[in-house]
Amino acid sequence: MKRVKMAFMALAAVGSIGSAFAFNHAGKKNLTTYYAVQSGSSFIWQTTPPAHKSCQSTVQNVACTIVTATPPTNGQMPANQTVTNQVYR
């Protein structure tokens, strides 16, 4: 009977060690870099760096580059991003 008890205790110890290291990591969100490019009197977001354009000051509430998991809406700066008043043009 003592051997059975010892075997169950050993089994319980091994089981608890295994579950202690079984982490359930939340999946990493796929972050994407978006570039704000001047388009008429507004701006559009694109995922490729604008060729032959530079980041310049503007009166619009926008930033040249943002990194986010949610695609932004053209002409709008996402609320959780920092405004720098600059856009590619």
pLDDT values of the chain reduced to their tens digit, one per residue, 89 residues = 666 666 666 666 666 655 555 565 666 679 999 999 999 999 999 999 999 999 999 999 999 999 999 999 999 999 999 999 999 99
| Triad 12, 17, 22: Cα angle to 5° | 125
User: How far is Cα 54 from Cα 4, in angstroms, rounded to an integer?
Assistant: 75
Residue 29 is predicted with a pLDDT of: 79
* Predicted local confidence at residue 54, as pLDDT: 97
Amino acid letter, residue 72:
P
**Nearest-CA neighbor of 47 among 28, 80, 69, 78?**
69
